[in-house]
Chains A and B, each alone.
Chain A
Amino acid sequence: MTTRHSFPAWARIAGPGALLAALACLHPWLEQTMARHMGLELPALVLAGWLAGAYAGPGLARALAPWNANGLPGLLFAACVSGFWMLPAALDVAVLHPAVGTAKVASLVAAGLLLQASWSAAGIVIQAFFVLNWFWMTLGAGLIYQEAPQQLCSVYLADEQLHAGRAVAAWAVVGLAMWLWHVVRAAIRSDASPQDALPPRPLPAGPG
């Protein structure tokens, strides 16, 4: 982690910036099918935000800390944004109206950024609350997309819903698996060094 912050500033911006630029160039292709839109574009935008947060370093979390105790508002924002763009009607307006499409990009990048900045402050209990709720919401949405008898989106055919639903359900499983792996790894590490088994330490006190 510490080596990352020794990158020059341009390199820290270039990572997420290059990803965003690639997504912007590919966006007609990505939004051509529902599966690519939901399965690739939306998660990649969150990833770009997460990377930006990671490269920004702990200063960002410190700056947000007075308004973001235990990462609660940040994680709530990320959960709401994630749920919002699973609504078929929201996906439609994002494709049909460029202004909403821009808001989609901004909200998902912000969600990734806040997710990253809130993650360590949240601690395992609050993380579990958000991850498990997000998992069930996303898995449910994925299953509904696969099973829905009617056309859900105006801009995508009903046939595409099966693939989009599979992609969404797969992300739910991947997200849960990643978090469980993170929990197991932390548990093993705290077994190895008992002083780390204490509850998550608060962030260094910021202003306020």
Chain B
Amino acid sequence: MARGWRTGVATLTVAVLALCAFAGVTHGFAAVTSDGVRRAALAGTPRALPPIGLVDAAGRAFSLADYGQPSQPATFVALVYVRCQTICLTTAAGQSWLQGEIQARGLGDRVRLLTLSFDPASDTPAVLADHARRLGADPALWRFATVRDGADLKPMLDLFDVVVLPDGLGGYAHNGALFLVGEDGRLSRAYDIDRPDVALADYLRRAGLL
């Protein structure tokens, strides 16, 4: 009798511990991938933008916290490095598509784009400017920037939960997403890198424009 009772307690303990562990790592059973977990975490708890020193393609210094003020245009942010031949091309294509939609829908004063490079050693302002020109970026809508101080790289990547690993071939393996800094100045949404349409539709719906 005691054995059955003890086994019941042990089984229940294992089950409860397992549920807690699964719930913890999946953000309450919301997702099984880190990207999905980040999406759920951002939607639940938007993040403030810390003062990270940046420099844009025109060589102007500014702070990431400048985007953290309420009642600004919403900004779609992506993290890339210019030499990347894989997902950054998808990212750039997505942001290009967004720029076209913003222009076509006359949303220029409501939605902006920001591309942040995590390879400040290679992506100097001149390289970023050249990159922006090749993408046909409208400087009034779409800004390219990187960190001024290499020490700010880690806080920036941590803020966006982006993992960058050298791939051994001089490039980087990294994950990505299309992030939204809302009008409240908080990092509040993440979307799949290849679904800018979903990102825009979600913005339009929540802004009451759809």
Contacts and interface: CB of A to CB of B under 8 A. Distances in A.
Interface of A: 65-70, 72-73, 76-77, 80, 84, 87-90, 92-93, 96, 150-157, 208
Interface in B7-47: 7, 9-11, 13-15, 17-18, 21-22, 25-26, 31-37
Contacts of B33: 88-89, 150-153
A6 B35 CA distance: 52
How many B residues are at the interface, by size bracket?
20 to 34
A3 B4 CA distance: 33
Nearest to B32: A87
Name the 6 nearest CB pairs between A and B, nearest first. A80-B18, A73-B10, A69-B7, A154-B163, A154-B175, A154-B34
A87 B3 contact: no
A208 to B, nearest CB: 5
Contacts of A70: 7
B26 A87 contact: yes
- Dominant SS at the A interface? helix
B32 A89 contact: yes
B11 A76 contact: yes
A25 B83 CA distance: 34
Residue in B11, B22, B162, B165 whose Cβ sees the most chain A Cβ within 10 Å? B11
B192 interface: yes
A69 B1 CA distance: 11
Interface of B: 2-4, 6-7, 9-11, 13-15, 17-18, 21-22, 25-26, 31-37, 87, 161-163, 165, 173, 175, 192
Nearest to A114: B14
Contacts of A92: 34, 163
B6 A208 contact: yes
A87 B25 contact: yes
30 contacts: A65-B3, A66-B3, A66-B6, A67-B7, A67-B9, A68-B10, A69-B3, A72-B10, A76-B14, A76-B15, A80-B17, A80-B22, A87-B26, A89-B25, A89-B33, A89-B37, A90-B25, A96-B163, A150-B33, A150-B192, A151-B33, A151-B35, A151-B175, A153-B33, A154-B34, A154-B163, A155-B165, A156-B173, A157-B173, A208-B6
